[in-house]
Amino acid sequence: MKKTLFFIAILFMASVLKSQDHIDAGWYLFPDSTYNNDVLGITHLIETKDGNYIASMYDYSNYYKSQDDATIFKINSDGVILNEIKVDINDSYKLNDIVFDVQNDTVNVLMHCIGIHRNCAMMLHSYILPDFTLTEFRQIWSADFEKPMSSNIIRSLPPLIDAQGFKTISYTYSSRYISGVMPPYGKVIFLKIEPNYNVVLEKWIDCEDFDYNHLSQICYTFNEDSTQYNVMCGLNNKPWHCQYVLDESLNIIDTVLYEKESAMNYWEFADQHSYSQNPINGKIYCMTHVGHPTMKYELAVFMLDKTNMKVKMMRCTDTPDNICNTTGLGDFLAYSKNGDIYGMGIYDFDYFTNNPNYECKLYLVKFDENLKKLDEWFYEIEQKYMHHFDHIYCTESDDIIVTGYVVNDDTNYPCIVKFPASAFNSENIEEAHDHGLHLAVAYPNPGGDVLNIRTGLRNAVLTVYDLQGRKIHEEEITDDVTSIDASKWNSGTYVWKLGVRSVELGVKEVESGKWVR
């Protein structure tokens, strides 16, 4: 049965959070599942060739029980759930992870499961039929453990796929949550799977061989020509400092140590999160949060510079006014076809003030391949929700989708939010002022019958000229968004200027730009 979604229209509020803009979502969706005090969310999502999305959702607070509560569902581009199916596996196992990939228009489903006694694991393969049912689950791999171990809960990192269609997937196992004995015992499994979904290579590596504390997941990707693997994990509590190189047979053949860039001297890595390869230039990027002796935590993006053997850093929000607690970092970055890169995190601005009316928002940042920050935005569904988005995706049309869950009064709501590509259009902003702020922006650009000017300024005058310098519109700014009827204007390029009134100078221009109808 089709389900409708909640649409939301968020007013722009410029001048809040200084230069950071609030962004409009195209839609957001709460699937019909809520859990009190349980952690439930949308995990992996893929886009199919018909423009729909397949996503998985489950409650993993029952990870140590035999009960399963997982759903795979299909969503159209407007955010309407078209189909859904419950996932049920052998009662002797607990579902640990679901990931998808599309091959020849078929959506394949890989399910990683842990035995309820934590003494074994297995991988199941299925695929979704046209009537949105799953085929019989086929076991393609299994293993018995030397001692009880758990795995990364809901890791949801899709397999790496090489040019021949072979897929590589990995999981980390640890005794930490079973025995409580420190240091814990752990292993990493790498599986290489052929296009027909049969395992052709199984490689176990002790965490000690990675000098890895196996308390959190490792991350891995291909090198630039996809002939070897790069594996990143924490070395002496320095994530992204040590990189292991694995050959095609998944043997460790090299250990590479990166040094900090000078700008990072006062910052320490707080944790490791996203780590992925840019499909356009082959470079490796990651996003995490860093700690500072006085500034607490901030979000940062890193790039591994193989030429200079440096870890370069870009602080996402670079002002002390945004001291915050950061949570829910995306496991991957999102790469658009034009070369822009998107990352995400969660900012709780009042975390250190003990303010019960916390201001928790989704944070999105766009930067280029050289770590130049292009723009940043904040988004919240409603102030009453605590946001916990974990994954970010870029669609074929350059829309951005984030998935995870939100919390209100100890009740969790799985959630998907889609932002249209037009919301991130850099062409609607002229060159930044020297201090990096934009006092106003025209959108959409190019546009149609309506020109919108967004600004937090008041006591200001907006004037629009054609390219011949003729004034065609002028009005006072009274609201955050000023909408101008441009339906009778000719097609072409227009110049808008924003001036602020003062007794001494009259109207002084403070911002301008071009708008195309």
The answer to pTM > 0.85 is no
State the residue range of the domain holding 464: 440-516
Residue 287 lies in a domain: no
Question: Could you check whether the bond before residue 158 is cis, i.e. omega within 30 degrees of 0?
Answer: no
The answer to whether the peptide bond before residue 183 is cis (omega within 30 degrees of 0) is yes
pLDDT at 39: 61
Whole-number Å distance between alpha carbons of 182 and 175: 9
Structure tokens of 441?
């922006």
Name the token pair of 443: 């959108």
DSSP 3: B
Cα torsion through 250, 276, 211, 288, rounded to 10: -170
Assess if residue 159 is contained within a domain.
no
SS3 179: helix
Residues 6+ apart with CB under 8 A from 213: 183, 207, 234
- Candidates 58, 35, 43, 36; CA nearest to 404 is 43
Structure tokens belonging to residue 311: 């870890």
Q: Is residue 200 part of a domain?
A: no
As averages over each run of 10 residues, the pLDDT of the chain (517 residues) reads: 30 32 85 66 87 85 56 93 88 86 90 89 94 93 90 71 86 78 79 94 88 64 72 57 82 85 70 71 80 70 84 74 52 83 78 55 88 86 82 91 85 90 60 48 83 78 88 86 90 88 66 86
Pair 470, 492: CB distance under 8 Å = no
467 occurs within a structural domain: yes
Q: Is residue 350 part of a domain?
A: no
Q: How far apart are CA 3 and CA 369, in angstroms?
A: 39
Question: Whole-angstrom Cα distance, residue 295 to residue 37?
Answer: 31
Residue 334 has what pLDDT? 92
- Note the helical H segments in 158-309: 176-179
pLDDT at 62: 56
* Angstrom distance (rounded) from CA 147 to CA 142: 15
Angstrom distance (rounded) from CA 93 to CA 117:
8
Question: Three-class SS of residue 372?
Answer: coil
Residue 272 CA to residue 270 CA, distance in Å, equals: 7
The answer to whether residue 358 sits within a structural domain is no
What is the C-alpha to C-alpha distance for residues 475 and 200, in angstroms, rounded to an integer? 69
- Identify the CATH number of the domain in which residue 505 sits: 2.60.40.10
With beta carbons less than 8 A apart as the criterion, state whether 517 and 494 touch: yes
Tell me, what's the pLDDT at 286? 82
What pLDDT, on a 0 to 100 scale, did the predictor assign at position 66? 44
Domains in the chain, number: 1
